[in-house]
Every structure is written in structure tokens, then in C-alpha cells.
Structure 1
Amino acid sequence: MKDKLQKIGLVLGSAFLTLAFIEFLLAIPVYYFVKGNGNTFYSRPHLHWLFEEDPVLGFKAAPNLKKKNPPPPGLPNAPRRKMWFDLETDNNGFRYNDHLYGRKPPDEIRIFSLGGSTTFGAESPNKMTYPQQLEDLIHDPKIRVINAGVGGYRSIHLLKYYQKVIRNFEPDIITIYSGWNDFEDFIASYWEPKNPHGHALKSQFELAKIPFGNFSLVWGAGKLYYSFKGYNRTVSVGVDVDLQQKYLRKARSQVWQNEHRDNIQELISVAKADGVIPVLIIFPSPQFENASSEVKSYADQDINMAGNWDAFVIALRHIRSNLRVLAEENGIPLIDVNNSFEKLNNDYKAKFNLFVDRQHLTPKGNTVIAETMLDPIRNIIKQRKLRILNRS
């Protein structure tokens, strides 16, 4: 009996030492190269510090964040996305440097910029996001432009975010920058119709809840599990033919297109019922119609298109068409920001330099957005002021 117990102890001890050794070997790359580096796109599985789970919204931006570091050096080609080096959120989770209270002064105009990661602008300092640049260009202390973008939000999130949060701050105008995440989330297995809890950050929240998740073995196994389930929405490096065909099929699907259109329509209706002016944004992208093979090949290298240029052109065509129809049917303003970027199609390398990848913008790209929006927004502000005068 004693010998048997000794053998069991020896086996268990050996197993423990083996696991400890593997844990030590894994801990170095996992913690030093992955978990310790929150500035790269590929270290996404631990970004729950940037967000909070929410029973209605699925998730939201965390309040009172403050990261101030020198900007890291950029890279010549994708992924050149460097994030979260200069980032602040207020006590409401908005990426806004000033104090914002629920009760609005009577002479103040509030514009809320709704959108996903491109609006939040983690690649830029707070002052260089397009909402903040737009506020600075308007240069009126009584007009606020609040960055209410949340990375990963698609149209269902924008609708619920407005209903639960934004309307409490008495908005006068909301700008709606939406569509990209509706398409890309639809490709992943976590997507469910009208469900804000199936989102791009789902696996990150789940990984954070795993018991003993700080051990690299447990964390790595969890990450592998969610990867097999198709929960990780990441940008692949290089051309994957199977994934390329999947993107093309999904881009043509009416399912995500109809959901996006329905959610934006409901958001428009709810906002108008509140007396708010909704403004649709035709958002910019590096992709454009009828590009040559030379352009697409360079895009694979420079902005990491991974062979999916044509799929995104198809998806963007549907998004923009739906937004134009919605604006016309509802009699609301539409600002075509993409038109300013399309002027650079013949100089595509210069155009790509306004983006850090196939979607997100550099600070200079945000400047182009803000400058393009300036005059239309000024006219919409005038409309809003007239409405207020007519009511008084």
C-alpha cells in the first residue's frame, strides 16, 4: 500500500512539476509579448480594462480612464496601428476632456458623435479624434461635440446606447457613423440578430472570468477554445483563400444589411421623437470601386487587406446605399465624408496614409473628417437654433 501511494505521489509530483515548467515557459511569451503589450491590434484578448459589461448594452466604455504616454513610433506598413497611448474618458465613459452633466444649460448645443472604434479613435490622442477636432473648428464654447464612440459597437448597440444613455444628456444633434461592424461581426460565430451581447469583445470578457485565468496555461487554453468557436474577430496576415470567399459571401448577405437598416431606422425614429436631429455619416474607407490589381496588391501589404478588398467594396456599397435611402425617406441630413477621401483615389498611397489599417484613421485622417463635416454641421446647428427659437 505504501509503495502504491508513493507511486501515486511520484506521478502527481511529476505532473505538477511538468505543468509548472510548461507554465514557466509559456508565461514569458504570454505575459511579456502579449499580455504586457496593450498597444497592438493583436493583443486584444485582455482589453476588458477598456470596457465594462452592461446588462442592456452588452458592454460600454469604462469611465475615468487616463493613459498618458509618449506616442510610440509608427510602422511603415500594416499593422501600424498604435493605440491607447493618450486616452481619457470622463465619468460617463465618453472620450471627452470636459465635464458633462445631465442637466444642460439653456443656451448650450450638444452634438453626440455615435459610432464604433473609428469614432472613439484609440489610434489618436483625445484632442485629435474627429469629434474633438470638429468642436475645436466650430470654436464656440456653447457648442459641445461629445465623442460617444465605443469600439466594437454596431447598429444595435448605437440604438440601445442612445435609448439608455445618450438621451439623458439632452442631445440636440446626433451624428451616426455606422455599418462596418455590422458587416464584420456577421462573419464571426458570436453574432446573433438584434443581440448586443454577441459582440467582438465577448471572448475577452469570458477569458477574464475563467478561474485561475492569470495562469498562462489556463489563459492560453481559453483563448484557443474561443478561437475554435470562431469568437475572435481579428485581421489575418496574408491572403487566405477560404476566408476570402467567406467574406465575399457574407458581404452580399441581406441578413446583416437588413438588420443594420432596421436598427438605424429605429434610432432615427426615436431621436426625432425626442426632438433631436439625427445626421447620417457616409464614412470614409481606403477601399474604392474599380481598383486595379496593383492597388489591391499594395493594399494587402500597406493596410493589411488580406485579399478582401472586393468583399469590403461590396459591403460598403450596400451600407452607403442604405444610408442614402434612410436619409431621403426620413428627411434628415446626410454628410458624405467619404467623398473627400475619394478624391485621392488616383494617388492611393497618399490615401492609404490617412489610415492605420483597412478601417481606422490616423490623426490626419480624422482632420479630413472634421474639416469635411464642419460646414454641414454649422448649417444643422443653425436649424437647431431656429427650432429652439420657434418653440420659445
Structure 2
Amino acid sequence: MTSASFRPSPKQSEPATPGQLSSTRKFVYWIISVFVSVVALVAVLEVGSYFLLKSQGIQSALFLRSEDETVLGRDQFREAYRTLDPHLAFTYGKNSEKLLEVQKTNRWIDGFLLESPAQRGLRKPIILALGGSTTDGVKFPGSWPEQLAKILDEHNIQATVINGGIGGYTTSQDLFKLIRDGFEFQPDIVIEYGGVNDGWRYSVSNHLMVHPYQESILKVATGQDIPRILPSAMTLARQYLPMKGSIDYSLGVGSKRTRAQTFKKNMEIMQAATISQGGQFYAVIQPFSFYQSKHASPNPQSVGLEFISGVTELYNEILFLTNTRDYIHDATQALEGATEVVYQPDGVHLNSAGNKIIAEYMFNLIKDPLTQAPPN
């Protein structure tokens, strides 16, 4: 018999006792319960913060902010957002592919598109059009200012149509743009075409003259941009726990004016400013397919019920202005005589047929002062 026969066999591991197994399970259960409790607490904080911010008029993402929701924006106007403007938030610029396309046939002057043939230059009388995406001639070719220029040509009326419409602008941005830039063209006629954007979230709560994008830029510049994770809870926390010593920003004096009161104020200032500069001002409240229109889309979700409610509330409060101020005009029913499709699927923007009707409406509105204008 060899010495190997006397080697002790390896010690067998003893099975775990019931007590040991129970302790392990208790530890695992404890870890899981702590994890679930933390997740539940965080979820409650995030959801609660979301609704609290919403009650303050602040729209926030829930749990996770999409990569698309950046300083460049996330909607169809993102292309315009790529060129910052210190007073207006954004405009079109050299980074806009659509603008490069439009510039092949039209002249662009820092936020303004000449709808009349570029080779003519700026011929008097000059008609300046302002508004949001329903006026915008870069994002939406075939705009009503473009069609108005064609109508003037058809009637052999020498005039220049300048389109200052930018998607996403409210009457507040148009007011700033008119005072800062528009009067540089010495317009004889200024047309403000709007209403829809003033009824939606294109302004900051209690600071209706400020576009939300302007605040987004300031937040990024001061390191207060909304976090990607738990954006609502983090945004609310920053309201009550500001970082000491950090750069801050101001949106000016807060205002308790309603959207309708802000619209009224903007029109009054634009009217007075235009007259002071020797021009005539026309404010036109635009049609909206979901406001007393037979052209309403069968699917209100194309824009959302909250959007429709906001615009409807605004219109119900501002349309009376057309009875007390002769420079404010109600075009909400201008498309009701049309039998063809005049709206794009979203029920906000018009197709070529709709824009032509609006252009004809504008022509009839300004025809007399145009024909009475002194020669160049």
C-alpha cells in the first residue's frame, strides 16, 4: 500500500443551515425593499414636481428629457433656432438650408425676405409683413406675402413686399422686430398677421413679452439648463435651492397681464409707433380652423385640445377690439367662403389656396392707401 492511500480526503462543505439561508434572504429582501422605496420616492417627487411646475405655467419633461429637447428646440422650427438673436431669441441664418434655397430667387436681409423681385430693389410704397409661421416665407414657400406681391404685379401696382415673418414669433417678438429693424426699411404700410401663437406657449409665464427660447438660452449660458434625468424635480429644486455665487439671469419686471391684454398692448404700441414713423398699421387676427370654421380637421389631436382651448380663449377676448379700433381687423372668417381645402393637415397653416385668399383679403384691405400713395 502506497503513501497516497493514507492522504486525507478533501473536507466536504457542510450544507447551509436554515438559519443561515434565512439571513441571506433577509439581506436580499432588504436591499430590494430599499431600492424599490427609493425608486418610489423619486417617482413621487418627479411626478409631484411635474404637476407643481405645470400649475405655475412651466412645461417640463417627465423622468427623462429627450435628446431632441436641447437649446436647438424640438419642433418644426428647429432650423430657425440655429441662429440666435439677442432680442428675438432666434431667426434664420447661414446655417439654414431652407434659407439657402430661398436665396436663389429672393433677397434676404437679416431677418426679412423680399417677396418682390430682387432686381427691383426697394421700391416705394413698401409693405412690411410681420407674423409667425403662417407668414414665414422661408419655412413655408407660397406664403401670403409672396402671393400678395404677385397680386400687386397683376394690378400693375409698383410696391415692395418685405416679409419679416418667422415661425414661432408672437406679437411680442413682432413688436420688438418692428421697432428695432422694421422701421429701417421706412415702410409705408405695416401688416401684423397673428393671434394663434399668442394663445399658445410661446411666452414665459408672468413674462409674456419673453419667448421661452430666450429663457432657454439664458439657462444654458448660466449653467441652469434642464437636466436630462429627473428634469421636473431638478427644475423645481433649483427654484428653492439656488446655487450661491453662480451667474443668474433676469427676465425683467413680472407682469400680471393676460394673453389678451398683452395682445391689445402690443397692437396699440405697434399702431402708435408706425404712425410716428409716417406709416399705416393694420393688425389682422388670423383664421384658425378650430375656431368657428367649417374647415376644422376631424382630428383635434393634430394640434392638441390644450392648444385649441388656449387660442379659442384668446380669440373670445380679443375679437371685440375690431369694434373699437379701426386698425384691428377680424379675418377669422375670411376662408369660410372657400369650398376647396385651404388648410394643411395641422389645421393651423394654410396651403397655397388658403394663402391666396388671405393675400386677396390683405390686398382689399390696403388697396385704397396703395393707389393713393405718392409716386416714387
- In structure 1, the residue matched to 2:332 is 338
- In structure 1, the residue matched to 2:199 is 183
Contact 1:114 1:147 in 2 (8 A): yes
Is 1:202 aligned with 2:193? Answer: no
Q: Whole-Å Cα distance in 1 between the matches of residues 359 and 167 of structure 2?
A: 19
- In structure 1, the residue matched to 2:178 is 162
Contact 2:190 2:282 in 1 (8 A): yes
Q: Which of 283, 288, 295 is residue 285 of structure 1 equivalent to?
A: 288
Contact 1:299 1:305 in 2 (8 A): no
C-alpha distance 87-219 of structure 1, shift in aligned 2 (>3 A):
farther
Q: Whole-Å Cα distance in 1 between the matches of residues 364 and 188 of structure 2?
A: 17
- In structure 2, the residue matched to 1:48 is 81
Q: Which of 362, 365, 372 is residue 376 of structure 1 equivalent to?
A: 365
Q: Which of 128, 131, 143 is residue 159 of structure 2 equivalent to?
A: 143
Q: Whole-Å Cα distance in 2 between the matches of residues 151 and 304 of structure 1?
A: 16
Q: Whole-Å Cα distance in 1 between the matches of residues 321 and 119 of structure 2?
A: 33
Q: Whole-Å Cα distance in 2 between the matches of residues 156 and 269 of structure 1?
A: 15
Q: Deviations over 1:151-183 (max 9, x none)?
A: 222222222211111111110000011322222
Stretches of structure 2 that go unaligned for 5 or more consecutive residues are 1-65, 237-255
- In structure 1, the residue matched to 2:144 is 130
Q: Whole-Å Cα distance in 1 between the matches of residues 319 and 358 of structure 2?
A: 16
Q: Which of 67, 91, 99 is residue 97 of structure 2 equivalent to?
A: 67
Q: Whole-Å Cα distance in 2 between the matches of residues 339 and 63 of structure 1?
A: 35
- Give the deviation of 1:371 after TM superposition: 2.4
Q: Percent identity?
A: 19
Larger of the two Rg values belongs to structure: 2
Is 1:91 aligned with 2:109? Answer: yes
Contact 1:113 1:149 in 2 (8 A): yes
- In structure 2, the residue matched to 1:215 is none
- Give the deviation of 1:142 after TM superposition: 3.0
Contact 2:219 2:225 in 1 (8 A): yes
C-alpha distance 90-308 of structure 1, shift in aligned 2 (>3 A):
closer
Stretches of structure 1 that go unaligned for 5 or more consecutive residues are 1-29, 69-83, 212-217, 231-252
SS in 2 for 1:119: coil
- In structure 2, the residue matched to 1:153 is 169
- Give the deviation of 1:270 after TM superposition: 1.1
Q: Whole-Å Cα distance in 2 between the matches of residues 184 and 360 of structure 1?
A: 15
- In structure 2, the residue matched to 1:58 is 88
Please show how residues 28-47 of structure 1 align to structure 2 within 5 Å.
34=68, 42=75, 47=80
SS in 1 for 2:348: coil
- In structure 2, the residue matched to 1:300 is 300
SS in 2 for 1:113: strand
* Corresponding residue pairs, total: 286
- Give the deviation of 1:58 after TM superposition: 3.3
C-alpha distance 382-226 of structure 1, shift in aligned 2 (>3 A):
farther
Contact 2:136 2:164 in 1 (8 A): yes
Contact 1:90 1:96 in 2 (8 A): yes
C-alpha distance 261-142 of structure 1, shift in aligned 2 (>3 A):
same
SS in 2 for 1:114: strand
Please show how residues 206-355 of structure 1 align to structure 2 within 5 Å.
221-222=227-228, 225=231, 255-289=258-292, 298-301=298-301, 303-306=302-305, 309-327=308-326, 332=327, 334-343=328-337, 354-355=343-344
Q: Whole-Å Cα distance in 2 between the matches of residues 53 and 67 of structure 1?
A: 18
C-alpha distance 46-371 of structure 1, shift in aligned 2 (>3 A):
closer
Q: Whole-Å Cα distance in 2 between the matches of residues 228 and 275 of structure 1?
A: 51
Q: TM-score, normalised by structure 2?
A: 0.62
Q: Whole-Å Cα distance in 2 between the matches of residues 298 and 85 of structure 1?
A: 36
Q: Deviations over 1:212-271 (max 9, x none)?
A: xxxxxx9993597489859xxxxxxxxxxxxxxxxxxxxxx9622112101210110111
- Give the deviation of 1:42 after TM superposition: 3.6
- Give the deviation of 1:47 after TM superposition: 4.9
- In structure 2, the residue matched to 1:243 is none
Q: TM-score, normalised by structure 1?
A: 0.59
Q: Which of 348, 367, 382 is residue 356 of structure 2 equivalent to?
A: 367
Task: Provide the aligned C-alpha RMSD in A.
Answer: 4.2
Q: Deviations over 1:338-357 (max 9, x none)?
A: 3232335xx7xx65x51342
